[in-house]
Structure 1
């Protein structure tokens, strides 16, 4: 049963189809070979001469190897191998062959495909009719009334008895040849159509670039939306507690919530616009220290957090990229205070320039327990990523009863 499945199973049939496609692709090259062999051998009918057909086939295969240098050959052959030969898609290359080695392997594969395919396709055309004749020979002999003159060699009883067996054996041999040829091509395909080191490097670079974009978008979403949600949560909580006793504070909290959500929706639209295929990115500008540091401090103080800020650097003089990333770092530092220390603590923020570096320091007393999300999030990791991309350093941790975040960013660095 297993033997029959190997010869006639679904995979064997699909590989047989792949070989027949190779034979069909070989036909134009064989016809070109006949136009060369015919005049060279003074034969007017090379198509009717089997040895000349084989010679024409041999002449056509080098021509096939030359035409395999077209860019679409490897993608098309890889797709056919994937669907018909059952080869793992990850072991095949689907782009055009760029290097000399890749082109040589593609030419070798195309020649093998057309060579094996031409032979198996020719056998598939010639063998079944002959095998069918042998299987039906005893019936033909019995029904023959002189209408068909059989060769004298067939005028033996044992010949008629063995003819059906020989016919079935020939069909089985054809199936075995097709199965073996298909298995060999499937085995050789990864080596000849697989990705080269250059292809793997290009794919790795593309994945790294895509991952970098995804990580950047994730940081932007985390810093903007995470800070906004933390601030809005504390503002709403503080307003609810003093709803009856301090209407003025409630109005300020609601105004801060409105301002925070409006700005965050604009930033969210700008980030999500990059993710929408065919859509232009959002037009909301990325916040910077020069543009929104005062607003960030105002919205944070509206949460009840007491912020003492010392800005010894001119935000307008900072490079745009540095100002943007520094804003996100300050925003995330304040957001961490809101989430983990609560809204009734005093936080100290210092922004200064020392030794050609922008230094950002955020300090606050350690809270008894996290306020918003036990276990924390990815804020410190995002700060470290931003700092590393700018060529700076990050220090964060508890010391002497306070939590201290200290970031140093070069004024000019790898951005």
Structure 2
């Protein structure tokens, strides 16, 4: 059963169709080759001479190879190979051929396809009628008339006609299966991704990953900070609910304002998902000049000192610095509770420096399920800006420092 399946199974039949399509694609080039051969031979009848037909076939192949150098040829060839050749779709490249090596490989594949396809198509058209006539020859005397163009069979040679006809059909099937298998073997090599394609795909994946990481940091910093602030305000209000209604009203107002602002930031961040990479890289967002509003809603007592012109910091650097401060405040809530925070931001000709300190509460910090990624996000933001960040307990206080150049955003 293995041999019949390889010769006449579904994969073999699809490959046969693929070869016939290659023969059909050959025809325009063959006609052009016939015109060239006819002109060279002084107007000889190309279609009436087998040597001239072979010459036209030989002229057609290089013309086809040149036409396949266009980038669009690879997607068309890949689509046909994936559907009909029975090869692993992942082994073939996507998109037009962008490099010289890819175009040369595609031209080689196209030439091989239409060359083998032309031979198999010609055999498919010619052999079956001839083989059927040979098989029927012993039973119909009229077929043995030489005027029909059949070979002359008489005597015992008539008995050989049927086996020769069957052998012709078997030869056709074997040739089609063999050529189809040859194309399937060469498809990954000629239509597969080149080193340039792999590099472009890796760069695209890296760009997509950078965008996803940026959006994750934005969501973490904005929503995470808001939830930490809301948790602190709600906890404080619950403890003094019966004793200080005025404070409770202030806490609820702060919670309302924080959640409203966070919903707006969340909409802005999610809006980045509908924009291109360039827009994501330069999307608008809160910056250092908006820190006063952040500090007033955080629920902490913050001693804030600013040295230098914060408005002169470039937008991207200012936005990333704002997020670092925001995450630092969220971290202070977890490690220091309601302890006061000292924040200093210095801007000079060399860069921006952020220093944040708060006393440790002495109790275990609030840990979110699955752990947090705030400090890692701060380090990533600082690294993207060409600087560095450090955070940790030191001499009874939690200290966060970050420094990066003003023009160092990458």
Change (3 A) 1:123 1:284: closer
SS of the counterpart of 2:243?
A: coil
Q: Partner of 1:134 in structure 2?
A: 134
* 1:132 Cα offset (Å): 2.3
Query: How big is each residue's C-alpha offset from its partner over 1:269-323, in whole Å with a ceiling of 9 and x where there is no partner?
Result: 2221221379xx8999511121x2122112112xxx4433333444334333322
* 1:345 Cα offset (Å): 2.9
SS of the counterpart of 2:295?
A: helix
Distance in 1 of aligned mates of 2:189 and 2:401:
53
Q: Partner of 1:333 in structure 2?
A: 328
Matches within 5 A, 1:174-213: 174-213=172-211
Q: Partner of 2:286 in structure 1?
A: 287
1:408 aligns with 2:403: yes
Q: Partner of 1:232 in structure 2?
A: 230
Matches within 5 A, 1:266-277: 266-276=264-274
TM-score by length of 2: 0.88
Q: Partner of 1:22 in structure 2?
A: 22
Q: Partner of 2:214 in structure 1?
A: 216
* 1:354 Cα offset (Å): 7.0
Query: How big is each residue's C-alpha offset from its partner over 1:363-391, in whole Å with a ceiling of 9 and x where there is no partner?
Result: 33055323251452211111111101111
Distance in 2 of aligned mates of 1:181 and 1:152:
29
Instruction: Give unpaired runs (5+ residues) of structure 2.
Output: none
Q: Partner of 2:77 in structure 1?
A: 77
Q: Assess if the C-alpha contact under 8 Å between 2:385 and 2:409 holds in 1.
A: yes
Q: Assess if the C-alpha contact under 8 Å between 1:266 and 1:284 holds in 2.
A: no
Q: How many residues are treated as equivalent by the alignment?
A: 404
Change (3 A) 1:316 1:103: closer
* 1:332 Cα offset (Å): 0.3
Q: Assess if the C-alpha contact under 8 Å between 1:360 and 1:408 holds in 2.
A: yes
* 1:327 Cα offset (Å): 0.9
Change (3 A) 1:389 1:63: same
TM-score by length of 1: 0.87
* 1:223 Cα offset (Å): 0.8
Distance in 2 of aligned mates of 1:43 and 1:350:
92
Distance in 2 of aligned mates of 1:329 and 1:2:
66
SS of the counterpart of 1:311?
A: strand
* 1:341 Cα offset (Å): 2.4
